[in-house]
């Protein structure tokens, strides 16, 4: 367990600890990590980033990579998976307030993208200017070459709205999905 004060989700484990745990294929199992939602979100993100990194390296093997590509990806992952602010979900009759962190919503949105064929999620932004205002979502994605962009974007937009509304009493305002890139799957090259 890490001696640092940068533990994730109150688990007592740092990002470095989670990385080492993932490198060991989660063996031996650590209950404090496996039961912690924020740790699970970070591990899922790390797994996705590892897969994407391997795909990028394979795709770009014939061309030299910019030295900062890995740093850029890691900076974005770290920015998104800090817990962030609490977003109110509901208030009970006894005054207890239920909240969700921005980090949890980032992971929820990324998991929606994982379910959309031919789509990779890039940047995710959330905006809720006032506590009782609808939550606006902006997502940048990459769509596989040959996949109808309109269909992929519509599926992502509808999936985000449904997932957020299903998991709490949040009202969703705008859901903007921007195609920022087109990628080619490895199978398409063969």
The 10s digit of each residue's pLDDT in 143-152 is: 999 999 999 9
Q: Where do the H-state alpha helices sit in 60-137? A: 69-80, 102-114
Domain residues for the domain of 184 are: 83-190
Last residue of a domain, one of 56, 77, 98: 77
Please give the pLDDT value at position 77: 61
State whether 116 and 184 are in the same domain. yes
pLDDT confidence band for 59 (50 / 70 / 90): low
Residues 6 and 53 occupy one common structural domain: yes
Whether the per-residue pLDDT at 2 is higher than 50: the answer is no
Please say whether the beta carbons of 128 and 89 come within 8 A. no
DSSP-based three-state secondary structure for 77: helix
Q: Indicate whether 179 and 107 sit together in one domain.
A: yes
- CATH for 134: 3.30.70.1350
Question: Where a domain ends, among 77, 105, 139?
Answer: 77
180, 95: one domain: yes
Do residue 73 and residue 112 come from a single domain? no
143 CB neighbour count, 10 Å cutoff: 24
Those residues with Cβ within 8 angstroms of residue 174's Cβ, 6 or more apart along the chain or in another chain = 134, 136, 137, 138
Sort residue 88 into left (φ over 0), alpha (ψ -120 to 50) or beta: beta
The pLDDT tens digits of the residues spanning 124-166 come to 888 888 877 888 999 999 899 999 999 999 999 999 999 988 8
């Amino acid at each position: 367990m890490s001696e640092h004060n940068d533990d994730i989700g109150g688990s007592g484990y740092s990002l470095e600890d989670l990385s080492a745990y993932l490198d060991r294929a989660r063996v031996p199992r650590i209950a404090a990590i496996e039961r912690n939602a924020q740790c699970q979100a970070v591990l899922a993100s790390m797994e996705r980033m590892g897969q994407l990194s391997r795909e990028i390296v394979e795709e770009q093997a014939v061309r030299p990579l910019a030295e900062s590509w890995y740093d850029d990806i890691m900076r974005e992952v770290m920015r998104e998976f800090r817990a962030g602010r609490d977003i109110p979900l509901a208030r009970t009759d006894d005054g207890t307030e239920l909240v969700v962190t921005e980090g949890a919503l980032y992971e929820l949105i990324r998991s929606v993208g994982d379910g959309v064929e031919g789509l990779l999620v890039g940047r995710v932004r959330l905006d809720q200017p006032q506590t009782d205002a609808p939550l606006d979502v902006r997502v940048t994605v990459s769509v596989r070459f040959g996949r109808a962009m309109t269909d992929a974007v519509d599926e992502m937009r509808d999936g985000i709205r449904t997932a957020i509304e299903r998991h709490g009493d949040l009202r969703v305002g705008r859901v903007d999905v921007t195609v920022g890139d087109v990628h080619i799957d490895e199978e398409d090259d063969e």
